[in-house]
Amino acid sequence: MPKQTSAVKKRSVRGSTSGRPIMALLDLLGRRWTLRILWELRDQPLTSRALRTACDEASPTVLQARLSDLRQANLVELVPAGGYRLTALGRELHENFLPLHRFAERWSKQRAN
Amino acid sequence: MPKQTSAVKKRSVRGSTSGRPIMALLDLLGRRWTLRILWELRDQPLTSRALRTACDEASPTVLQARLSDLRQANLVELVPAGGYRLTALGRELHENFLPLHRFAERWSKQRAN
DNA sequence: TCCTGTGCTACAATAAATGTAGCGATACGC
DNA sequence: GCGTATCGCTACATTTATTGTAGCACAGGA
């Protein structure tokens, strides 16, 4: 099996041989820090280092890789003097996650531990 | 840094030192195959092997690990003679992902490649 | 008994993430 | 100019996670 490193385009091969966009999206989002990055950028742009701080000091290597993926996916953009921020599309995606916040609260109360 | 293998409980330490449930949830969902599994179980239970087929022949090792995580998180359950299925809580979570399907369609058209 | 399918595991090989250090570029104050 | 600080980003060795393959014990059904 061919292994893939960073590109969404290539991922769509693994995530979905039928080319279903949902598979490519789930594959993109199902990588460490991707959801977290989108979450942290939810209401203000962050510099790469601020983002790293927000993300619990995740290693810059993987953050850069994810930011690269997200920029290719047109969900995040780098504004020259302002750091990283969600694109219009990225903001739209984030709105799908808003209910997650409330859900997470309920979830943490209902689970066994 | 202590590394964690499978438990959600432990993950909440890394995902969120402040114990914010959203971090634990993002951390759980941001692992390979987790989102995909929830997606594949969306409208019918699947046996472990059917799930594996649905998930593009992912290795049983990681699928079992994710299923174990998801069961601990009370999002998925194993019904003795019917395979794996979403719990009520898991179905509730999945409803938050429904808009993703439509979004994915738009997204795949708007991105550069 | 012999199949077949279930949930699940072992284990070596490979890929991804981590942690630390540092690069070139740019912008400050002095 | 010179230091100093920050920016986005990268190298690289170590550690962790995932993959791929094989197979286990168990439970029916024929």
Cβ of residue B4 lies below 7 Å from strand D: yes
Structure token digits, residue A32: 């460490």
Angle among Cα B47, B50, B54 to the nearest 5 degrees reads: 135
Sorted by sequence, the CB contacts under 8 Å of residue B69 that are 6+ apart come out as: B6, B7, B8, B28, B31, B34
Sorted by sequence, the CB contacts under 8 Å of residue B25 that are 6+ apart come out as: A100, A103, A104, A107, A108
In the structure, how far is the CA atom of residue A4 from the C1' atom of nucleotide D13, in angstroms? 22
A33 contacts B30? CB cut-off 8 A: yes
Q: Can you tell me the mean pLDDT for A67-79?
A: 96
Structure token digits, residue B102: 């439509």
pLDDT, chain A, mean = 83
Sorted by sequence, the CB contacts under 8 Å of residue A107 that are 6+ apart come out as: B21, B25, B73, B74, B75, B89, B93
- pLDDT per residue as tens digits for the range B14-70: 334 456 899 999 999 999 999 999 999 999 999 999 999 999 999 999 999 999 999
In the structure, how far is the CA atom of residue B82 from the C1' atom of nucleotide D28, in angstroms? 14
Q: Answer whether A48 touches B (CB < 8 Å).
A: no
Q: Answer whether B90 touches A (CB < 8 Å).
A: no
pLDDT bin (cut points 50, 70, 90) of residue B99 is confident
pTM of the prediction? Answer: 0.86
